[in-house]
Structure 1
Amino acid sequence: MNYRSDVTTILHLVHDLIHEDEEDNPSQQMQNVGEQGHMALLGHSLAAYISVLDRERLRKLTTRILSDTTLWLCKLFRYENGSAYFHEDDRDGLVRVCRLVINARYEEYASEGYAVLSAKQPVIYQSASCRPGLGQHLCNQLGLPLSSLCRVPCNTIFGSQHQMDVALLDKLIKEDTEAGKVPLLLIANAGTPGAGHTDKLGRLKDLCDQYNMWLHVEGKCCLMLTFSCNWCVSGVIPIQAATRCDSMTLAPGQWLGLPAVTAVTLYRHEDPALSLAAGLTSSQPVEKLRALPLWLSLQYLGHDGIVQTIRHATVLSQQLLQKLKSLASIKTSVGDFLMFYHYLCKQLAHLVPISGVDVVELEDEGICLRFSPLLTAAILGTQQKDIEELVEKLTELVPIMSSTMCLRQDFREETYRHSPWLRYIEDFCWPGLGAVRFEPRAEGMDEYRRKQELEKMNAELLKKLQDLDTDIIFSTGPEAGTEDGCIFVGMVTEDVDVSDLVDTIAALGRDIEESGRLLENMTEVVRKGILEAELQLQKANEEKLMEEGMLRQLPLVGSVLNWFSPVQSSIKGRTFNLAAVQHLKYGVNNFIKHANATSYAPFDAPTSSANTRQIPTVQILFLYHLNSLKD
């Protein structure tokens, strides 16, 4: 940058960069920030201001902020005698907890490093339903091989398909112990990232105590610890089991609608030296200021405000669940998910964006619509009227989706009935009735010309279909992975006659093909007419030369001879007067339009007067073609 800008100019630039895509993509507009969000934003500004204070005042202030915030969080989540680590990356707290456990289990780790671990390899256990990539990230940050990560399958016969199989975990731990490995840490879920299920925390804690393992818990359902009665959409979280864990990672910013607030890891350990070695505590005052935005927000909301925010989210889940019970075509899973086709999920997310629904793909259930107000309601400001609108859109879209799915096979069979004019295009990603392509006859065409003709005819056919008076949407389909020259038919209602629909598509295609061939035939007639006219002109010139002689054809000599000795020629001159046929363009264009719109009824050219005889159609096209040659 070669010049300086004032503050106003810079702020305008930032404003334009933030809002530049909102007109084209209304769904990407910025979310409204509530008062509690403004408190969090204020905390970031205050943290920058406080960081310039003198060292002693900064130390006292940051110590107070950190201790207050830790005390409030431990009380709020019923986690007694805990410490807190505030971190930007929500995985960083677990990484440092693992370092703490390694330092505690391997006394010589501080001096010997990885050599100690190679003798007795540590093992970290995680559920198969944990968030993707978490285990690999831990191994990378800790310098451990991937063989130190054990992925525990979930129940497949008894219990939930998303809960960790406790019996199998016990077996895996015994096998690792017998192999000389050290069971180090277990990661359990209180609300899986995908389906929102909670592991059997009580049994897992007993197993960890048996093998001297560290239990770490994470998930949105940790929020339920703020209630005296800990109900959530995936069941009841036992308070004692959840609070007995050795550490837990929380995301209060996301849960409470607080922008840019750090994640928090609560943990219990009696040795501050090991906590310092693991990076869970710091003597740097600036790092302690990470807690300031949350410190302000917690004071603003208060205990009752936080509980009310979480309670509102659970009420929204209950409301949607009750409404969906009346729709037999919808399957619910844990109250958080609806089983749907992918297209419908996207439609709902687009039509009711404030509801916070999004699309996920689960291993057993398939593609689902996820409604998780614990993660979105506080940020988006979702209200009960938004749930009513979501259910209303569901009742509109589900019947038309069901009828479309039922008629897809009929559409396919009817398309094959019109072979070879129509070709059915298999596209499993298309949510509508299906896709077809009109195949013109290609006698005497090379591959390049055939492809051009195919795209041209199907583009014209698509335009005619879109002009029909119908609620069915015809389009070119998805942009990626689509064959050239395809026509995609959208959703249809149950009263649509698929046979008539396919007949209409085929008839329009054949009309377009016949219209094109008629114009090709007329072009051939015009070409032959031009050749015939050229031969007649050449013959007339030869006859004139024979009758008048060579001298009269010379420009200067001929003029003198004709002056002194005029000649009476019996040959009438013939010319192409291209300029005289300009007025015929309008008539020809009307003819072409008329031919495309009808069954090619005879076309009458306009006459200049009653005495002027009618000009045949072929002659009009012939003159028009000559005029085109001139242009």
Structure 2
Amino acid sequence: MEDPPASEMDSKNPNAEDEVSSSTDRRPFGGLEFQVSEVVGRLEAVVNAQDGATNAQESVIDAQDSAANYPEFFESSNKEPPKEIPSDLELDETPMDEILKVLEDIVMKTDPNCESLEPPLLPTDAVTRAAILSHSISALFARLERGHAAKLGGYIASETTRWMSYLFRLEDYNAYYHQEQLEGLVRVTKMLLHHKYPRYLEDGALAFANRLPCIYSCVASPLGVVQHLCRQLGLPLACVRPVPADAAGRTDVPALERLCAEDARAGRAPLLVLGEAGAPPLGRGEPLRALARACAALQLHLHVRGHALALPAALPRGQTHSIADSLTLTPGPWFGVPGLPTVTFYKIPETVTANDHSKGVNPAGSRESALAALAGLTAGAARLAALPLWTCARAAGEQRLTRRIVGAFRSARAARALVASADLRLLSEPPGGDEPPNVDIVDAMSQASACVVFQFAPADCGARVPPYYDKLNSWLGQVLQREPDMMSVEVCETEAHGAALRYCPLEGAGGAGADEAGAAWAGALEAQLHVLRATVALREPFRRSVRAHPRLALARVPGWAGLGGVRYEPAGWARAPRAQQDALQRSLVGALRAADGAFSCGAADDGRACVRFGMVTADTDVDELLALVADAGRAAEAGARALDDMTALVKRGISAAQEELARAADEGLLRRVPVVGRVVAWWAPPAPPAGRRLLLADGSLQTTEDIYRRVQKKEEEPPRAHSPSRAPPDDQ
């Protein structure tokens, strides 16, 4: 694999061969469209030059024959389309510029963090562009004849396998390239099933109905891997055999040997061992040499995956390894290039007899030589999937790819040093990359980690932190994630330690500029740790002060990392409706936020509203904050009581008015009697109905007769004369 000159590779100013013009580059898809169309046009001209005329002539003949044999179909196809088709489903021909504009608008609409008027720019370095262009070329190669495409894919896959084996110090492996990360493991396991069960091709799952295969995985490893494996191959979960972990969280090799012996005595077929080498989330490895020795003695297939498999690329040359029977490498995240396939390196199992698992000679043309083809590991499409990685390796060269991996391990070591100096709890192994020159490559992969996992924990804490510290670590991770242009940190949940923070530069988090961002990240981390320590120190005084206050009560807020929650409870409000109590707390928060934005309204574990206190600093006076809440609560209580008094006053006035109306209705009962009512109305004409008004000052109910008289008197008054100063001017 040839490398470009160092001057061209390290230059930050792209030349004309690597980049398109600046006017085209301003658009996120403009430059790629130009390059893709140019490359596709050149390839199409080569591929279609020979058979273009022949295909055109055959198309004309086929169309004539179809029109002669099926005239009714062509007549029906010329009819107008039905009118009830929705207009948004009738697509018209659209120019490519307009399609790209629509795509840019969709990118902006679907990005919740996009605040600019232009969509975010995509990566524009030469290696990334080469990888993206290779996908278009791969799609174009699908138009080749099957034999031609198989030869082309085989050549590209063979060359890429040689390069990757040299870069990662591998020997005697075949390679399978795929997009899904676990697809290679699924196909390797399928190959092992064909190897263990000769009638698996004909009988399927019935082949191992009486002799169940066993897949061994450490209890500290992710359970989703073996679950996905069983779902894809139709294996029952009873095939999964959990292996205990030792004190360091690694696979207990003697326990694995005992489990394998028990399964063999029980009539089962030990098949596969899943090993880890710096795999997520804690980046712990396995004793690879002891594990490989045990698997070889037990005739088990050992599969290893994890970020520590990238470590050999950062070590000095001279050593190679083939410690595992199969490996899974993820060069896309390791190189920081999107769109690269995952690579599974594997070995063909050795020949076994039908009744015993004794090894034999693997002659040409034996059943074992066809195992990879039966599992789909040698398909032409799978070989053509290596084209993006082949293109990336050609564009970057060995030195640039090696520097990327070396820089990732260096960034992990720097981050670990920063975390250790901040007095945080470290959960991961030390990152590799700084081993002495004579270190064994297998031992280095077994002990090294490629990530830094840490958490904020109390000094006298056991293996798992208290639940409150899970909230604090989640808050710390969310704050650090909001910091721009810094190292990317994620929050992960571990079964043994609780919530923790994880930094892994081999997952795309340690690209260019990671070293420069380390100092800024250290400053942000130290500032947030001051807040965490102050909050933890003031939490207990805060709770004591709340318990001592007569009008405040503690509220337990689940998932809240701040000081805690309180409720203002006035005297006699214990039996008040829940809606009224929640309204008081919300009005209290509204008044408090006008003075300090750290207050917020939340729901306690009983579902009732409360006032939440956020994170604080060391100079925060807790008693002053609680006094502020109490004063605001008394003001809100006074306002609520005034409103209650006015409500009661209005209710009494309405009741009095209803009573007077009922009394007046009883007095006029005689007027409603037929014949008699007319005589009474003639003898004593009824008074005009009088309205009622409620005086809120004293709560008295009075008639509106004086208002009516005042209005009537005002209407009977003569109009006032115009003032001399306002008299209209005489007509001239």
TM-score by length of 2: 0.66
Deviation at 1:258, TM superposition (A): 2.0
1:414 corresponds to which residue?
A: 545
2:327 equivalent in structure 1: 248
CA spacing shift, 1:531–1:80, aligned 2, 3 Å = closer
For 2:560 and 2:407, locate their aligned partners in 1 and report how far apart those are by CA, in whole Å: 37
Is the 8 Å Cα contact of residues 216 and 274 (structure 2) preserved in structure 1? yes
Q: Name 1:168's counterpart in structure 2.
A: 255
1:198 is matched by which residue type in structure 2?
Answer: G
Residue by residue over 1:153-206, the C-alpha shift from the partner in whole angstroms, topping out at 9 and shown as x without a partner, is 2113xxx22x11112111111211222222111111111211001100000010
Q: Match for residue 633 of structure 2?
A: 509
Q: Are 1:430 and 1:477, in contact at CA under 8 Å, matched by a contact in 2?
A: no
Equivalent residue number for residue 397 of structure 1: 528
What does 1:573-612 correspond to in 2, within 5 Å?
574-575=706-707
Task: Provide the residue aligned with 1:146 in structure 2.
Answer: 237
Note the 1:73-92 alignment, pairs <5 A: 73-92=164-183
User: Which residue of the other structure, out of 294, 309, 330, is the alignment partner of 1:207?
Assistant: 294
Measured in 2, the distance between the counterparts of 1:576 and 1:503 equals 53
Q: Which amino acid aligns with 1:17?
A: I
Matched, 1:52 2:137: no
| C-alpha distance in 2 between matches for 1:534 and 1:319 | 82
Match of 2:594 in 1: 467
SS in 2 for 1:488: strand
The 1:292–1:530 alpha-carbon spacing in structure 2 relative to 1, beyond 3 Å, is closer
- The yes-or-no answer on 1:456 pairing with 2:583 is yes
Asked if 2 retains the 8 angstrom alpha-carbon contact of 1:100 and 1:277, the reply is yes
Q: Does the alignment pair 1:12 with 2:101?
A: yes
User: Are 1:276 and 2:403 matched, yes or no?
Assistant: no
Number of equivalences:
533
Partner of 2:280: 193
Contact 2:503 2:509 in 1 (8 A): no
Contact 1:124 1:184 in 2 (8 A): yes
Judged with a 3 Å threshold, the aligned counterparts in structure 2 of structure 1 residues 429 and 577 are, in CA distance, closer, same or farther, namely farther
Which residue, 453, 458, 464 being the options, matches 1:337?
453
Contact 2:486 2:521 in 1 (8 A): no
Preserved CA contact (<8 Å) 1:355 1:382: no
Aligned identity (percent) is 29
Partner AA of 2:152 in structure 1: L
Does residue 1:427 correspond to 2:557, yes or no? yes
What is the one-letter code of the residue matched to 1:400?
Answer: V
* Counterpart contact for 1:41–1:293, Cα < 8 Å: yes
- Residue 312 (structure 1) aligns with: 407
- Which residue of 1 is the match for residue 567 of structure 2? 437
Residues 477 and 186 from structure 1, CA distance in 2 versus in 1: closer, same or farther, beyond 3 angstroms?
Answer: same
1:348 equivalent to 2:480? Answer yes
AA aligned opposite 2:225: L
Shift of 1:533: 11
Equivalent position SS for 1:302: helix
CA distance in 2 between partners of 1:466 and 1:184 (Å)? 63
Partners of 1:343 and 1:261 lie apart in 2 by 34
Give 1:461's aligned amino acid.
L
Which residue is equivalent to 1:61? 152
In the TM superposition, residue 303 of structure 1 has moved relative to its aligned partner by 1.3
Separation in structure 2 between the aligned mates of residue 408 and residue 577 of structure 1, nearest angstrom = 69
Q: C-alpha offsets along residues 453-502 of structure 1, whole Å, 9 cap, x if unaligned?
A: 2232222211221122x5x6011248x97834221110112222222322
**Aligned positions of 1:468-483 closer than 5 A:** 468=595, 470=596, 473-477=598-602, 483=607
Could you say what secondary structure the match of 2:408 adopts?
A: helix
- Residues 424 and 454 in structure 2, CA contact (< 8 A), matched pair in contact too: no
Q: Secondary structure at the match of 1:423?
A: strand
Which residue is equivalent to 2:163? 72
Partner secondary structure for residue 347 of structure 1: helix
User: Counterpart of 1:102 in structure 2: which amino acid?
Assistant: L
- On the 8 A contact 2:330/2:341 being kept in 1, the answer is yes
Aligned to 1:498: 622
Whether the 8 Å CA contact 1:152–1:169 is kept in 2: the answer is: yes
- CA-CA distance at 1:32 after TM superposition: 3.6
- The residue type equivalent to 2:168 in the other structure is F
- 3-state SS, counterpart of residue 364 of structure 1: coil
Query: How far is the alpha carbon of 1:389 from its aligned partner?
Result: 1.7
Structure 1: distance between partners of 2:525 and 2:257: 44
CA shift for structure 1 position 97: 0.8
SS at match of 1:369: strand
Please give the secondary structure, in 1, of the residue aligned with 2:201. Answer: helix
C-alpha distance in structure 2 between counterparts of 1:198 and 1:112, whole Å:
38
1:22, distance to aligned residue in structure 2 (A)? 3.2
Shift of residue 48, structure 1, vs aligned partner: 1.4
Task: Indicate how the Cα distance of structure 1 residues 312 and 351 shifts in structure 2: closer, same or farther if over 3 A, else same.
Answer: same
Could you say if the C-alpha distance between residues 296 and 24 of structure 1 is closer, same or farther in structure 2, counting changes exceeding 3 Å? closer
Partner of 1:546: none
- 1:519-530 aligned at under 5 Å gives the runs 519-521=643-645
2:505 aligned with 1:373: yes
Relative to structure 1, is the Cα distance of residues 499 and 551 closer, same or farther in structure 2, using a 3 angstrom cutoff? closer
Partner residue in 1 for 2:29: none
Structure-2 separation of matches of 1:494 and 1:4: 65
Output one character per residue of 1:356-394: Cα deviation in whole Å (capped at 9) or x when no partner.
Answer: 21011122222111011111236x545212222211111
Segments of structure 2 that go 5 or more residues without pairing to the other structure are: 1-88, 349-361, 363-367, 431-451, 457-472, 665-682, 689-703, 712-732
Q: Match for 1:272: what amino acid?
A: S
Secondary structure in 1 aligned to 2:385? helix
Aligned equivalents of 1:499 and 1:577: distance in 2?
A: 61
